[in-house]
């Protein structure tokens, strides 16, 4: 009888473990200020061998769009909703929102956020925990990321917060190395259960400074003296970003977790001034803060060994509200439909099952609503792969008019243009019924 009881306990324990292990790990990496054109696999000329390999071993999306600047993108990707429904102001994520980390934590996931926070500085330092993260290693939680003399402390000899404790050892370390070390340790410690790693990277945001792979790297440097730095270092920063992601993938291989892990990589918006990127199709000028494609078109790669057809390329429309339902579907996590999530899961496209039914992307952009300057008003638009319609009536073929210099004359549209215009107008009308409410 005792032996039978022990056997039942053993079987139940192993069944429970197998059930937990059936939930895939999620690693969501979002580079800072990195446009679509920066990856070599997307036609860029920077050195990104690890991300290129990730794409060749997984699926690459050609039509993913973020918001034009960081906070709007961060709020949208975490909540699955258009900014018109939940945006407060720059640097703020409303405590009332429900985000993917809270949902996965309820579903038995261990959760980590690592990298850049920048959501309600100083005011509510407990927010990472409130939003469901068991652990964090972050820049810009309790401080603005600069020391008392004004030096920027995001890269060399950084000022970070690790689980509520300030880290500022000035030991010649590089923030990205410290963060990736922590991510790899977190994965090792939690390899027997499902985990979420959300890595909103600090790279490749300015200041453009040397990395540990730069020829003039100086570990005694106490921080950047200027906000911008020198753009000549941007290629080094892209390369180091790629190197660091390669370290995470290698650790997954070491832990034998690749088949149990969905890796998603994207960028929060286009590159910043004054970056001009060389591509196989010519130069792409920086677009951060702009609503044109060089401000919103970002890379998207998904890799899940054994689940994704290697070397796939998909042209489906994806926007940042789609990430939460995708992560929830992949993990079997319920999400609150009553919160009016706007996104549509792109997991079927990742798995190669079918094309998306998503007809358009809707964007509402108002990064700093409380700055009182002339013409500080929200901008909204709908778009598909080729056309874009703004709320003020401007209509562009963005494939032929990348910088949106010449609006199409609505009285001279051909049948195809008219069809696209009507579909995009119908999308605008749906969201025009929603009223943005000021929250401050």
Domain boundaries, the chain: 23-363, 378-432
pLDDT of residue 71: 96
pLDDT of residue 439: 60
pLDDT of residue 123: 64
Query: Rounded distance, CA 196 to CA 333, Å?
Result: 12
3 has which bridge partners?
Answer: none
Stretch (H or E) spanning 182: helix 175-189
Cα Rg, the chain, nearest whole Å:
22
SS3 assignment, position 30: strand
pLDDT of residue 88: 92
pLDDT of residue 72: 97
* Number of Cβ within a 10 Å radius of residue 145: 22
Nearest Cα neighbor of 64 from 401, 359, 314 is 314
pLDDT beneath 50: ranges in the chain: 5-20
What digits encode the pLDDT tens for the residues 162-208?
A: 999 999 999 999 999 999 999 999 999 999 999 999 999 999 999 99
380 has which bridge partners?
Answer: 364
Nearest Cα neighbor of 107 from 25, 202, 224 is 25
Contact 77, 325 (CB under 8 A): no
Q: Strand 395-397 and strand 387-390: pairing?
A: antiparallel
pLDDT of residue 370: 85
Angle between helices 323-331 and 70-79 (to 10 degrees): 30
Positive/negative CA dihedral, 65, 250, 165, 175 = negative
Contact 163, 135 (CB under 8 A): yes
> What are phi and psi for residue 342, nearest 5 degrees?
-90, -20
pLDDT of residue 125: 66
198 has which bridge partners?
Answer: 28, 113
pLDDT of residue 355: 83
> What are phi and psi for residue 317, nearest 5 degrees?
-70, 135
pLDDT of residue 107: 98
How would CATH label the architecture of 23-363? 3-Layer(aba) Sandwich (3.40)
Helices (H), 255-391: 293-296, 323-331, 347-350
């Amino acid at each position: 009888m005792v032996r039978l009881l022990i056997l039942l306990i053993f079987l139940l324990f192993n069944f429970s473990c197998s059930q937990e292990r059936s939930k895939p790990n999620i690693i969501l990496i979002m580079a800072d200020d990195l446009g679509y054109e920066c990856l070599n696999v997307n036609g860029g000329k920077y050195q990104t061998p690890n991300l290129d390999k990730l794409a060749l071993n997984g699926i690459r999306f050609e039509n993913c769009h973020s918001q034009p600047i960081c906070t709007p993108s961060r709020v949208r990707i975490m909540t699955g909703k258009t900014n018109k429904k939940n945006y407060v102001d720059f640097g703020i994520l409303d405590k009332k929102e429900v985000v993917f980390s809270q949902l996965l934590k309820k579903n038995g996931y261990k959760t980590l956020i690592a990298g850049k926070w920048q959501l309600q500085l100083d005011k509510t330092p407990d927010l990472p925990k409130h939003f469901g993260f068991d652990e964090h290693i972050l820049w810009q939680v309790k401080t603005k990321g600069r020391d008392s003399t004004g030096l920027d402390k995001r890269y060399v000899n950084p000022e970070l917060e690790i689980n509520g404790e300030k880290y500022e050892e000035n030991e010649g370390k590089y923030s990205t190395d410290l963060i990736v070390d922590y991510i790899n340790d977190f994965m090792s410690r939690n390899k027997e259960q499902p985990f979420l790693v959300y890595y909103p990277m600090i790279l490749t945001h300015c200041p453009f400074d040397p990395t540990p792979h730069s020829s003039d790297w100086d570990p005694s440097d106490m921080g950047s003296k200027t906000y911008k730095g020198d753009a000549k270092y941007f290629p080094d920063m892209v390369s180091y970003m790629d190197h660091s992601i390669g370290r995470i993938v290698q650790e997954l291989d070491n832990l034998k977790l690749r088949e149990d892990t969905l890796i998603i990589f994207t960028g929060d918006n286009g590159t910043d001034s004054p970056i001009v990127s060389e591509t196989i199709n010519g130069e792409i000028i920086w677009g951060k803060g702009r609503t044109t494609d060089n401000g919103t078109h970002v890379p998207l790669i998904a890799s899940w060994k054994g689940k994704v057809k290697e070397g796939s390329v998909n042209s489906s429309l994806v926007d940042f509200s789609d990430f939460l339902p995708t992560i929830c579907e992949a993990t079997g996590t319920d999400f609150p439909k009553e919160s009016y999530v706007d996104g549509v899961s792109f997991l079927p496209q990742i798995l190669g099952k079918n094309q998306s039914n998503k007809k358009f992307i809707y964007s509402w952009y108002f990064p700093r609503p409380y700055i009182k300057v002339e013409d500080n008003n929200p901008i909204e638009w709908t778009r598909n792969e080729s056309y874009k319609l703004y709320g003020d009536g401007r209509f562009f073929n963005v494939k032929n008019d990348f910088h949106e210099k010449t609006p199409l004359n609505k009285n001279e549209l051909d049948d195809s243009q008219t069809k696209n215009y009507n579909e995009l107008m119908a999308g605008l009308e749906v969201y025009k019924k929603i009223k943005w409410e000021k929250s401050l």
